C-alpha cells in the first residue's frame, strides 16, 4: 500500500511538470510585476533565512501574490479576445472604469451580443482567494469576484441573463491583454516566468505534502489537487487567443498555483470563499425530556 501511495505522489510530480516552461509579460507602462518566488517579509520584522522561507514553509521561498499595480491603468479582454474590462486606481482600491461584456443572444443562442455597462463599477475588497488579492464587483445585474493575477485578472461568477438586451453573458475566466498583441519577444519573457512559476509550484507542493505528512487524508487531497492542476489549467486557458504561441494564460495560472500553495504553507488553507465567510453551524443542545403525566385514557397517544 505504501508503495502504491508513493507511485501516486510521483505521478502528481510528473503531471505538474509535464507542460513546457513559459513565463512573464511586462505590459507597456505597467509597473514591474512581482517576481515569482519572491519571499515576503515575515511577521515581527525578522529577515528570512538565506534558504528561502521561514520555519512555517520548511525553508521554501514563499511566492508573493501580485499586487494591484500590475493591473491598474490597463484594459483587458476575456480570453484575450472578447469584451473590455478597464481597471483604474484613483484611490487606495481598484475600480472598473469601463466594462463591456460579450455573450450570446437568449432568443438566438448562435448569435453574438454585447452589453455595455455604462459608468464605473465599484469594487469592494474581499477575503483573499487562495492567497490572491480579491475584489467583489458591485454589479447588481451580474455580480462577480475578481482575483488579481500578474498583469491580468481572473473573474469568478456565473452566467448572467440581461433580458432587456436579449443577451446571456459568462464573465468568468482569465481577462488579460489581447492575444494578438503579444509578440515573439514578449513570448520569450513569458516562457521564463512560466519556468520559474512551475519550479516554485513543485517546491511548494513538496513542502505542503511534508507539512501534512502525518495526516493521510489531507496528504491524499494535496496530491489530488496537484495531479488535477494541469488539466484544470488547460481547460481555463485553452480558449485564450493565440495561447499556443505565447502561453500567457498558463503562465499566470501557474503563478497563481504557486501563490495558493504558499498560502497553505502559511496556514491559510485552500478553503473556498463560502467556507471562509460562512461560520460553522452550531449544534442545538438536545432538549431534556419533560415530565409527562400519565394519560387519562388507557392507550391514548401523548402529543
| Last residue within a domain, chosen from 176, 207, 236 | 176
Residues 77 and 165 both lie in one domain: yes
Residue 280 has pLDDT above 80, yes or no: no
In a domain, 295, yes or no: no
Question: Is 165 in the same domain as 214?
Answer: no
Q: Are 83 and 168 in the same domain?
A: yes
The pTM score is 0.70
- Cα 216 from Cα 23, distance rounded (Å): 34
Residue 184 located in a structural domain? no
Lowest mean pLDDT segment, chosen from 16-25, 135-144, 222-231: 16-25
Does the pLDDT of residue 14 top 60, yes or no? no
- Residue-wise pLDDT tens digits, 33-85: 334 334 333 333 333 333 345 444 555 678 999 999 999 999 999 999 999 99
Contact yes or no for 251/197 (Cβ under 8 A)? yes
Q: Which domain holds residue 205?
A: 2-64+196-277
Q: Say yes or no: 218 and 245 in one domain.
A: yes
Per DSSP, 125 falls in state E
My answer on whether 128 and 221 are in the same domain is no
pLDDT at 212: 86
Residue 301 located in a structural domain: no
Number of structural domains in the chain: 2
Residue 215 has what pLDDT? 86
Domain final residue pick, 112, 146, 176: 176
Q: Within this chain, do residues 20 and 90 fall inside the same structural domain, yes or no?
A: no
Does residue 13 fall inside a structural domain? Answer: yes
pLDDT at 41: 37
Closest residue by Cα to residue 251 from 47, 98, 24, 52: 24
| 174-209 pLDDT tens trace | 999 999 999 999 999 999 999 999 999 999 999 999
What is the distance between the alpha carbons of residues 168 and 238, in angstroms, rounded to a whole number? 21
Q: Is residue 293 part of a domain?
A: no
Q: Measured between alpha carbons, how far is 87 from 81 in angstroms, rounded to an integer? A: 17
Report the SS3 class of residue 59.
coil
Indicate if 83 and 164 belong to the same structural domain: yes
Percent of the chain, pLDDT > 90? Answer: 59
User: Are residues 78 and 171 located together in one domain of the fold?
Assistant: yes
Amino acid at each position: 500500500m505504501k508503495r502504491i501511495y508513493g507511485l501516486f505522489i510521483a505521478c502528481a510530480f510528473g503531471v505538474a511538470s509535464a507542460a513546457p516552461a513559459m513565463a512573464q509579460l511586462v505590459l507597456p507602462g505597467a509597473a514591474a510585476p512581482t517576481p515569482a518566488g519572491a519571499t515576503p517579509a515575515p511577521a515581527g520584522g525578522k529577515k528570512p533565512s538565506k534558504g528561502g522561507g521561514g520555519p512555517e514553509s520548511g525553508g521554501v521561498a514563499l511566492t508573493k501574490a501580485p499586487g494591484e499595480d500590475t493591473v491598474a491603468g490597463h484594459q483587458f479582454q476575456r480570453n484575450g479576445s472578447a469584451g473590455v474590462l478597464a481597471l483604474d486606481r484613483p484611490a487606495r482600491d481598484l475600480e472598473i472604469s469601463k466594462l463591456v461584456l460579450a455573450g450570446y443572444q437568449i432568443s438566438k443562442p448562435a448569435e453574438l451580443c454585447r452589453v455595455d455597462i455604462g459608468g464605473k463599477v465599484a469594487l469592494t475588497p474581499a477575503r483573499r482567494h487562495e492567497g490572491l488579492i480579491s475584489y467583489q464587483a458591485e454589479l447588481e445585474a451580474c455580480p462577480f469576484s475578481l482575483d488579481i493575477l500578474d498583469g491580468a485578472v481572473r473573474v469568478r461568477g456565473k452566467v448572467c441573463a440581461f433580458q432587456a438586451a436579449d443577451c446571456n453573458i459568462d464573465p468568468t475566466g482569465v481577462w488579460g491583454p489581447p492575444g494578438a498583441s503579444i509578440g515573439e519577444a514578449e513570448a520569450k519573457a513569458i516562457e521564463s516566468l512560466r519556468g520559474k512559476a512551475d519550479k516554485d509550484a513543485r517546491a511548494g507542493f513538496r513542502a505542503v505534502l511534508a507539512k501534512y505528512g502525518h495526516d493521510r487524508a489531507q496528504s491524499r487531497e494535496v496530491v489530488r489537487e496537484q495531479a488535477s492542476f494541469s488539466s484544470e489549467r488547460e481547460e481555463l486557458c485553452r480558449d485564450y487567443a493565440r495561447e499556443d504561441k505565447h502561453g500567457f494564460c498558463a503562465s499566470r495560472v501557474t503563478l497563481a498555483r504557486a501563490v495558493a500553495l504558499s498560502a497553505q504553507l502559511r496556514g491559510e488553507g485552500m478553503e473556498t470563499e463560502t467556507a471562509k465567510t460562512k461560520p460553522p453551524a452550531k449544534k442545538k443542545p438536545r432538549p431534556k425530556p419533560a415530565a409527562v403525566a400519565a394519560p387519562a385514557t388507557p392507550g391514548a397517544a401523548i402529543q
